[in-house]
Chain A
């Protein structure tokens, strides 16, 4: 029981991180019908900006953890957004009316480019960070084993839930969110009622990047070490999560993320750590066989 609970906590934490990244995939796909393969690298850049900001704050002597966290959070959201915005502006927008394959290849190219860019600037070696948030709660103590719910995990879960609530309100209740949904449903019609489609797409990339940057910060805090390559696997898994949940659906992305996180945690705990990635993909294949639109995806038939 205790062991199970521990894996549940670990899986949820991991799932939150995947879910935050997955939203970026799903929103961009929803609007321009393209898989932004460089989105994993945006997440990686978010983690790098976080570590650089932490180190810089250490240098100027900002030692109070809540303040430091807040500054890092804002800095990485802001700066990573600039990368997300520039990515769309420079690489994707000129190809908006080209065949999809061109955009897809460009996205893969941008992914490789961004990896190399960070490798060049930051070096290929691991970047470690001293634990920032330590301690936690122990319960269900039973001999040697106790369930450990760390303060960091609580923070990750709480912050993600807060972001999700804010984000859902933004999409459902504000004029900007309405414009985004309109663009998702009919880009040409959205333009026809005066929506600046380019601007809406830019904002979508900015939102996706800022959520991914928070995931990057969480990843950094959780694992304490990053390198220029972390965007690849995290990106693939988050993409899997988006497809699993139903690509184009924001709640689906979050649900898919949680499921992938949980599958990974339980699989490594009860079966074998080596095959944890395979497990997630196997589940994906199964779901797509029985529900091609993903768990919460809408079938396209209603698009009259």
Chain B
């Protein structure tokens, strides 16, 4: 069954269109990645799925329901969470409060168990739970952003460049947690990445975006083997 289906999506900022007819399909249980150069429109797509900027044309379905015109809060309350570009944790709140915010739309009875789950995935957050989130390191902020998204018990997790700016060891840790979330917690993942090598190895399938359009798609293995992809996104990578 398809969890997310995007058909012919157009969206942009003011008069400037950034997405020119995007089609995406993500099935239940999958990890699907989206790679592409800077400015291709990847973040715009993730945000547009959440209703901001709003689709000017096209259709977005989540779990079979048309969400194209719903307000942002109504979309995410259906079981979708995003860890957006730039992390956007609440800097003047404590780590714990950030996680509480993530859980603000779920049943309070799950809270303790969900918190425990996030602390198991990211033990450093447990240590730092009273610390003001704005004072965390970049890697810790990224963990917090993912943890906050997980606190809402999403069926679909949208991640926007979770590895950006992190040391290789941390990158590997972030990716292994994504896999664990997918396998153990059965969360479907749609992952935007610059780090194409890691992303394609992790993902079941991938899309390549250029100038607001999907130009290529296929299994992670196929894309990794594709000479064009190697040339454009993997040269110089590991």
Q: Verify if B69 is at the interface (C-beta below 8 Å from A).
A: no
Q: Which one of A191, A194, A298, A304 contacts B86 once the chains associate, using CB atoms below 8 Å?
A: A304
B residues near A190, Cβ cutoff 8 Å: 101
Q: Do residues B77 and A194 form an inter-chain contact, with CB atoms below 8 A?
A: yes
Q: Verify if B110 is at the interface (C-beta below 8 Å from A).
A: no
Q: Do residues B92 and A298 form an inter-chain contact, with CB atoms below 8 A?
A: yes
Q: Do residues B100 and A178 form an inter-chain contact, with CB atoms below 8 A?
A: yes
CB distance from A43 to the nearest CB of B (A): 28
Most buried by B among A181, A185, A188: A185
Chain A interface residue count, Cβ-Cβ cutoff 8 angstroms = 21
Interface residues as binary, A183-226 with B (CB distance below 8 Å gives 1, 0 otherwise) = 00110111111111100000000000000000000000000000
Chain B interface residue count, Cβ-Cβ cutoff 8 angstroms = 27
Q: Do residues A197 and B73 form an inter-chain contact, with CB atoms below 8 A?
A: yes
Select from chain A the residue with minimum beta-carbon distance to B91.
Answer: A302
CB distance from A26 to the nearest CB of B (A): 15
Which applies to chain B's interface (DSSP): helix, strand, loop or mixed? loop
Interface residues as binary, B71-106 with A (CB distance below 8 Å gives 1, 0 otherwise) = 111001100011010111011110001001110110
Q: Verify if B148 is at the interface (C-beta below 8 Å from A).
A: yes
CA distance A73 to B52 in the complex (A): 42
Select from chain A the residue with minimum beta-carbon distance to B108.
Answer: A175
A residues near B92, Cβ cutoff 8 Å: 181, 185, 298, 302
Select from chain A the residue with minimum beta-carbon distance to B98.
Answer: A182
A residues near B86, Cβ cutoff 8 Å: 304
Q: Verify if A303 is at the interface (C-beta below 8 Å from B).
A: yes
Select from chain A the residue with minimum beta-carbon distance to B78.
Answer: A194
Q: Which one of A185, A193, A302 contacts B148 once the chains associate, using CB atoms below 8 Å?
A: A193
CA distance A182 to B82 in the complex (A): 16
Q: Do residues B104 and A189 form an inter-chain contact, with CB atoms below 8 A?
A: no
A residues near B82, Cβ cutoff 8 Å: 192
Between-chain CB contacts (< 8 Å), 23 pairs: A178-B93, A178-B97, A178-B101, A181-B92, A181-B93, A182-B90, A185-B93, A188-B52, A189-B84, A191-B73, A191-B76, A192-B50, A192-B52, A192-B84, A194-B105, A195-B104, A196-B71, A196-B73, A298-B92, A302-B91, A302-B92, A304-B87, A304-B134
- Other A-B pairs beyond A191-B73, A298-B92, A302-B91, 8, CB < 8 Å: A175-B104, A181-B92, A192-B82, A192-B84, A193-B81, A196-B71, A304-B91, A304-B134
